[in-house]
Amino acid sequence: MEQVVEHSDQPVVTAIVSAYKCERFIRGCLDDLLAQSLGERLEIIVVETGSPENERDIVREYQQEHETIRLITTDERETIYSAWNRGARAARGRYLTNANADDRHRHDALEVMAATLDANPQVALVYANAYVTATPCQDFATCTPIGRSDWPAFDRRTLFTYNFVGPQPMWRAALHERYGYFDRDFEAIGDYEFWLRIARTEDFLLIPDVLGLYFMAPETAERRDPQRSRQERLLARRRYRIGE
């Protein structure tokens, strides 16, 4: 079921939020996105798939005052990448980003990323550095980071070695028409599989600024089941070997 409010202006960016067992984070996530300098040029799609918590009610509460928020729900639990696919298919923005419920952004992060894509039509995806925090529910402006990422400039062979795209990239929505969507059978690193898929023929670009705040949660799918993460990583690399 989807609650949709029509808008007269086409959004520039759609932020996709996968909401499952994240009630303690969802208000902060929505407040963070609503405070972005893009304003009403940002569409927010929350995809909630069978969560036992109260994310739906919270999102509906926000929808009463913010027409840029859309809600997609399913009764069955789905993988995060199935949820992202639902959001990507429903998105109206020409650029997409995943907004993890427990992560946060610099106030102008999405505007900076969208402007970079506007200025570089040959680039398919942009990514930036992020502060890292071990404290939940912090915001970018007042966070107490324990570190920060220092991602390298884009290189296909380096990407094949490890996923330096990070947790908060932005990519062109039109890529899905050419390359398909995220592999819904992946549970931990389906984003990495998609980046490898498109990187064989597309260029990425590093924005060498700190634009996000990443919460190093202990219960992520990748950390919860490291063996599955390794298996998925190997499968993705076998699919998209450099030079083949």
Position with higher pLDDT, 130 vs 223: 130
Q: Tell me what percent of the residues of the chain surpass a pLDDT of 70.
A: 92
Bridge partners (DSSP) listed for residue 48: 19, 73
* pLDDT at position 222: 57
Q: Which of 10, 165, 37, 167 is nearest to 94 (CA)?
A: 10
The mean pLDDT of 134-155, rounded to a whole number, is 96
Give the architecture-level CATH label for domain 2-239: Alpha-Beta Complex (3.90)
Residue 148 confidence class, pLDDT cut points 50, 70, 90: very high
Q: Which two tokens stand for residue 22?
A: 């994240």
Contact 193, 182 (CB under 8 A): yes
Residue 224 has pLDDT above 70, yes or no: no
Q: How far apart are CA 103 and CA 242, in angstroms?
A: 32
| Strand, coil or helix: 233 | helix
Q: Give the strand pairing for 42-49 and 69-74.
A: parallel
Q: Which helix (H) or strand (E) holds 237?
A: helix 226-239
Residue 1 has pLDDT above 50, yes or no: no
Residue 2 has pLDDT above 50, yes or no: no
Domain map (residue ranges) of the chain: 2-239
Q: Give the strand pairing for 69-74 and 2-3.
A: antiparallel
Q: Which two tokens stand for residue 78?
A: 């789905």
The mean pLDDT of 27-35, rounded to a whole number, is 98
* pLDDT at position 23: 97
Q: How far apart are CA 78 and CA 186, in angstroms?
A: 11
Q: Tell me what percent of the residues of the chain surpass a pLDDT of 90.
A: 89
- Under 8 Å CB-to-CB from 208, ≥6 apart: which residues? 128, 129
